[in-house]
Amino acid sequence: MVKKYLITAIVFLGIGLALGVFFREITKYFEYDLINNHTSLSAMHVHALVLGFIFSLVMMMLVKVFCIEQSKIERDAYIAYVIGLSIALIMMLIRGILQVVDVDFMAKIDSALAGIAGLGHILLGLSLVLYAIYLFKGIKEQ
């Protein structure tokens, strides 16, 4: 189980670093004015690193330090977390690209993107509650 969290952390580290480079290059290519305009691409790098990389490392350490066994709650929390974070990052990527390239119909699809990203955030929230239950039960059993 520790290996699963380490692999997840490494994958999200790569994604986070790649998103940082992508943000820099796409805004430079399209000469996007970052001083006067905001794009959701600027937040993706940090989201992937903190929520993907650092959170996975913290979970790995907690599981290792407290010798907590794998359970159905942990499995469900892990799946919900990875799917929720992936959905949120993909929606941020789509929205950010559309902002940078200045798509005319952005206002029409913005609500749809926000709704789908909201589903990703709901999954993230649910997974955090499941992780809290999992950790509480695991530590209590010791």
Per-residue pLDDT of the chain (142 residues), as tens digits, is 789 999 999 999 999 999 999 999 998 998 888 778 888 888 899 999 999 999 999 999 988 888 887 889 999 999 999 999 999 999 999 999 988 888 777 777 888 888 999 999 999 999 999 999 998 888 887 7
Alpha carbons 85 and 9: distance in angstroms, whole number: 13
Q: How far apart are CA 50 and CA 5, in angstroms?
A: 14
In this predicted structure, what is the pLDDT of residue 121? 94
What's the N-to-C CA distance of the chain in angstroms? 18
Q: Which residues contact 66 (CB under 8 A, 6 or more apart)?
A: 135, 138, 139, 142
CA distance linking residue 134 with residue 140, whole number of Å = 10
For the chain, which residues make up each domain, given as ranges? 2-140
Cα torsion at 43, 45, 51, 55 (round to 10°)?
A: -140
